[in-house]
Structure 1
Amino acid sequence: MNKITSFLLLVFLSASCTSSNSNSDGDDDEDKIPLVAPVEVAPIKIGSQWGYIDKTGKIIINPRFDRAGSFHEGLAMIVLGRKWGYIDKSGKIVIKPQFEEAWDFQEGLANIKLDGKWGYIDKTGKIVIKPQFEEVWLFQEGLANIKLDGKWGYVDKTGEIAIKPQFEEAWWFQEGLARILLGDKWGYIDKTGEIAIKPQFDDAQWFQEGLAGIRLGEKWGYINKTGEMVINPQFDGALWFQEGLAMIRLGRKCGYIDKIGNIVIEPQFDDARSFYEGLAKIQLDDKYGYIDKNGKIAAKPQFDWAWNFQEGLAVIKLGGKFGYIDKNGKIAIKPQFEEAGSFN
């Protein structure tokens, strides 16, 4: 399932199998700390077990899982033994661990693996699309990309084939278009499966904020949804637009451009990522920090590893342990965890 990358940088996840809405096994009262109201929580690892904390650093769900992911649409995937299931924010198991692999809920469904095949369940744990696919991805804009007999296509939420498997690769729909690989060239299709932008690129990204990064030869540029080149290929690396800016690489240094291709933050960083909540992760001399949209250092590069801001906090690694900082670069939750994920 090569499309799905895991967090820390987490990855994923019978016909006769029926689902379970809850399970009392291993769900003792002492294993959970009841929430009085919905809060943002994050998965953390203490020793060999995963649990959850709130934004003050307080343990909300005691560490007892072999693996745990962030919450999406109210549920989080967890592993007990070698089986995947789901919990709610009270720590209650709402879908019994029974799957070989699983992934997050999106648009009401989650992809799960049984007997080596992928299908989909709803939030009650009921199988709504029988496991039958070699690989799958999440539902987005009503469709999910699936692999069948070595080719990629798309299904709708009833499990009906919406776009016949025919592509060497196919990614999710975003802003009405999906990137696909035909032969050795990338292009884009619409939701009817019609070619919207002819396969002609050596690599391509999804559309975001109206533009998509594409590569011709060794250089990256950007196109609009008609396929028109709006920023000529000239960069040695590039990411999608996020919050109005896109990271680009010239030579060995990273900076940022605006939507007309003007460099607004000079290439000067050894590595850099997209902006989230107004800040972007950057790397200088093997240490990670954050900049604002003016290119000003918001958090001094000092961390051994760092991730994007979410719900006002970002995961960082310092001295071999994971913790969280706020947008001023101050430690909000002391580094103390073996691993940690984003708040949701």
Structure 2
Amino acid sequence: MKKPLIFLLLFFIQFVNSQELALVKKNSKIGYISKDGSFKIEPQYKSAKSFSEGLAAVENNGKWGFIDTKGSWVIPASFENAKDFNSGIAIVQQGKDWVYINEKGEVLKAPASEKLFDFNNGVAFIKQGNKIGLINSKMTVVLEPKYDMIKPFENGFARVELNKNWGIINASGKEVIEPAYSEIGNYFKSTAWARKDKTFGIVSAGKFIPVDGAEKIWDFETQDLTYAKKNGKIGFIDLKGNWVITPIYDKAKAFSKNLAPVCVGSKWGYINPKAEFVISPTYSDAEVFSPNGLAPVKESNWGFINETGKLVIPTQYGITSNGFVIALFVQQDKGFIDGVARVKNEGKWGFLKPDGTVIGNQWFDNAELFSKSKEKNNTTEAVTEKAKPETTKPAAAKTVTKKKK
């Protein structure tokens, strides 16, 4: 009898620790709700941040510390400021200095760097002189500073600049594409788009393949097609650089669920990989489909359609990528994320379920996205020439916002 009981107890603990919470603001106080709409931590904070890796930075009497998902203090509020945990490490301000701490609140000794950078994908940038390198969460240098710029890691890979040429490295600092291009895109299935001098193409297996007539190429997202421009119009190319959908559209966005939003004139609809309109162009704007099969579409306001084009949630809401901070406008940030969509209605914010009901039937002054971790919202990049050295602040040298054509 004891063994099954222990098993169930352990399972329960694991479930509780993995729950997702959303930061919400109600009556000028911040608290956290779960996906059933109930408050797991009642609104009581003047300033706080979203949960990341099970901990949230919270201000108390002018000092910052970290609480767990039960609202208990794990790291006492003793810092002048604090940032999110990532890879088990957070940056906090201790007096006038910014330092790294672990999840026990212990200060970590890091290799010499003119600035502190957030961790992402298990690594953080270090800056020495005019060059950028990488350290891991054990505070070991994995890449000696050698690049002029490193962009944020995406799915384990980052774009790097050296002598005005761009390439791609992995989280171990190994070059998977040498810096030899004027521009380069994200790394997807061992492939990236790139520009060499004035020619756009695809880099695969170390070889540059020009794309006929391409004037611009956008990043690959979840499928083996991406959109590109030729003669002022948008079409789609594959991973080999072949035009598979003729460039005839005025605007387009990424394929997801084998459907891509395209704009003809001023109206948006959805095509399949055969360039057939599955959903006629009738909307003033449209976003990509989320994994649950719903996509945001706009008339005067936003609603949601399913893959057949049926309007399943009326166009009566505002949508955005995030509540309190500027975030990356990436593929699914304006739709359903992990089963819920953040929307605005009559000046208040709430969360919709796929059936259109409001979670907890509650609306808030403001709200953040549900999260266990905020790694995808990390927008820090390491820059040397363009950033002013600030040895007393953690570096967020640039913020990159992706815009879809």
TM-score (norm 2): 0.63
How is 1:123-202 mapped onto 2 (pairs within 5 angstroms)? 123=137, 128-129=142-143, 133-140=148-155, 142-190=156-204, 192-198=205-211, 200-202=213-215
Alignment-derived partner of residue 19 in structure 2: 39
C-alpha distance in 2 between matches for 1:316 and 1:202: 36
**Cα distance change of structure 1 residues 254 and 183 upon mapping to structure 2, 3 Å threshold:** same
> Would you say 1:329 and 2:356 are equivalent positions?
yes
Q: Check the 8 A contact 2:86/2:120 in 1, yes or no.
A: no
> Would you say 1:260 and 2:259 are equivalent positions?
no
Give the counterpart letter for 1:211 in structure 2.
L
Q: CA deviation at 1:301?
A: 0.8
C-alpha distance in 1 between matches for 2:307 and 2:364: 30
Alignment-derived partner of residue 341 in structure 1: 369
Residues 227-258 of structure 1, C-alpha deviation per residue, up to 9 Å, x if partnerless? 22211111111111101111100000000001
C-alpha distance in 2 between matches for 1:53 and 1:110: 31
Q: CA deviation at 1:61?
A: 9.1
How is 1:1-344 mapped onto 2 (pairs within 5 angstroms)? 36-44=16-24, 52-57=32-37, 58-60=39-41, 68=49, 71=52, 74=53, 84-86=83-85, 94-97=89-92, 98=98, 105-106=120-121, 108-109=122-123, 120=134, 122-123=136-137, 128-129=142-143, 133-140=148-155, 142-190=156-204, 192-198=205-211, 200-207=213-220, 208-276=222-290, 277-285=292-300, 287-306=301-320, 307-333=334-360, 334-344=362-372
**Cα distance change of structure 1 residues 38 and 259 upon mapping to structure 2, 3 Å threshold:** same
Greater shift, 172-181 or 266-275, is seen at 172-181
**Cα distance change of structure 1 residues 211 and 163 upon mapping to structure 2, 3 Å threshold:** closer
**Cα distance change of structure 1 residues 162 and 150 upon mapping to structure 2, 3 Å threshold:** same
Q: Check the 8 A contact 1:221/1:234 in 2, yes or no.
A: yes
Q: Check the 8 A contact 1:321/1:339 in 2, yes or no.
A: no
* Greater RCO (Cα-Cα under 8 Å, separation 6 or more): 2
Query: Percent of counterpart pairs with the same letter?
Result: 25
Give the counterpart letter for 1:84 in structure 2.
K
Residues 130-160 of structure 1, C-alpha deviation per residue, up to 9 Å, x if partnerless? 66643412143x5321223433222233324
RMSD: 3.7
Q: Structure 1: which 5+ runs fail to align?
A: 1-33
Q: Check the 8 A contact 1:110/1:138 in 2, yes or no.
A: no
Give the counterpart letter for 1:146 in structure 2.
V
Select the structure of larger CA radius of gyration: 2
**Cα distance change of structure 1 residues 298 and 311 upon mapping to structure 2, 3 Å threshold:** same
Q: CA deviation at 1:318?
A: 1.7
Q: Check the 8 A contact 1:185/1:203 in 2, yes or no.
A: no
What SS does the aligned partner of 1:158 have? coil
**Cα distance change of structure 1 residues 164 and 228 upon mapping to structure 2, 3 Å threshold:** closer
**Cα distance change of structure 1 residues 237 and 49 upon mapping to structure 2, 3 Å threshold:** farther
C-alpha distance in 1 between matches for 2:171 and 2:86: 23
* Greater fraction helix: 2
C-alpha distance in 2 between matches for 1:185 and 1:155: 22
What SS does the aligned partner of 2:287 have? strand
Alignment-derived partner of residue 25 in structure 1: none
TM-score (norm 1): 0.73
Q: CA deviation at 1:54?
A: 1.8
Q: CA deviation at 1:60?
A: 4.5
* Greater fraction strand: 1
Give the counterpart letter for 1:206 in structure 2.
D
C-alpha distance in 2 between matches for 1:49 and 1:149: 49
Greater shift, 265-274 or 142-151, is seen at 142-151
Residues 257-291 of structure 1, C-alpha deviation per residue, up to 9 Å, x if partnerless? 01100000000011000000110001111x11111
C-alpha distance in 1 between matches for 2:161 and 2:183: 9
**Aligned residue pairs: how many?**
301
